[in-house]
C-alpha cells in the first residue's frame, strides 16, 4: 500500500483523536523495517496499516471495521481537495464512480509506481442506481462503503446500499447495490 494512504490515515487519527494517540500508536505498533515515517510514493506492507487501525481500535474502543469505514468516508473529501481534476465536469456520484477504475486508478498507477488499487466497476446503471463490484486482495470493503458515503456527501446526496455479496464470505468480489437520492429538505 502506498505511503499516501498511510499519510491520510495519520491525518484522520490526528484530526479525530489527537497527536498524543498517534504518538502512542507509533510507540506500540510493530511496523515493517521501513516505517514510520510513511513517505507518500513509497510502498509499505498492508500489515502496517492494519497495525495502526488495530491499535486505534484498542485506544478508541471502536471496532476495526467501523474505523476502516470512517477512514474511507474521511478520505474522499481530502482526495477531492488534493485532486480536483477527478471531479471536474462530473455531474453525479454515479458518473464519478464510473470513472474510478478507468480514469482515477489508471492515473494512480502512473503517479505511484507499484500501486495496486482495487478493481472497482459499475454495472446495471440507471440515473440514481448502480451495482458496484469491488475486488481486492486487501478485502477492505468497509473502506469502499465509507468512500461511497463520502461520495454521496460530496455530491450532496443521500445514499442507501446493500452489500449483496462479500469477499469475506468467500466470493471473488463484493457486490453492492447502491442508490443515490436527493437529501430531505430541512
186 pLDDT band, cuts 50/70/90, is low
What pLDDT, in 10s, does the model give residues 91-142? 889 999 998 988 888 888 787 777 888 999 999 788 789 999 999 999 999 9
- Between these two residues, 67 and 36, which has the higher pLDDT value? 67
**Digit-coded pLDDT (tens) for 24-66:** 999 998 888 766 788 878 888 889 999 999 999 999 999 999 9
Does residue 151 register a pLDDT over 70? yes
Q: How confident is the model over 7-25, as a mean pLDDT? A: 95
Q: Which ranges of 19-89 would DSSP assign to H, the alpha helix? A: 19-28, 46-60, 64-82
**Chain mean position to CA 129:** 20
Amino acid at each position: 500500500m502506498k505511503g499516501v494512504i498511510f499519510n491520510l490515515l495519520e491525518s484522520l487519527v490526528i484530526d479525530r483523536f489527537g497527536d498524543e494517540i498517534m504518538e502512542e500508536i507509533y510507540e506500540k505498533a510493530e511496523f515493517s523495517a521501513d516505517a514510520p515515517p510513511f513517505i507518500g510514493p513509497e510502498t509499505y506492507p498492508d500489515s502496517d496499516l492494519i497495525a495502526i487501525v488495530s491499535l486505534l481500535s484498542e485506544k478508541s474502543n471502536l471496532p476495526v471495521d467501523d474505523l476502516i469505514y470512517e477512514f474511507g468516508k474521511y478520505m474522499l473529501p481530502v482526495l477531492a481537495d488534493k485532486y480536483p481534476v477527478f471531479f471536474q465536469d462530473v455531474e453525479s456520484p454515479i458518473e464519478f464512480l464510473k470513472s474510478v477504475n478507468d480514469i482515477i486508478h489508471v492515473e494512480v498507477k502512473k503517479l505511484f509506481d507499484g500501486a495496486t488499487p482495487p478493481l472497482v466497476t459499475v454495472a446495471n446503471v440507471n440515473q440514481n442506481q448502480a451495482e458496484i463490484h469491488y475486488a481486492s486482495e486487501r478485502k477492505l470493503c468497509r473502506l469502499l462503503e465509507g468512500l461511497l458515503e463520502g461520495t454521496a456527501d460530496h455530491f450532496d446526496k443521500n445514499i442507501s446500499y446493500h452489500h449483496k455479496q462479500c469477499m469475506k464470505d468467500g466470493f471473488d468480489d463484493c457486490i453492492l447495490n447502491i442508490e443515490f437520492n436527493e437529501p430531505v429538505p430541512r
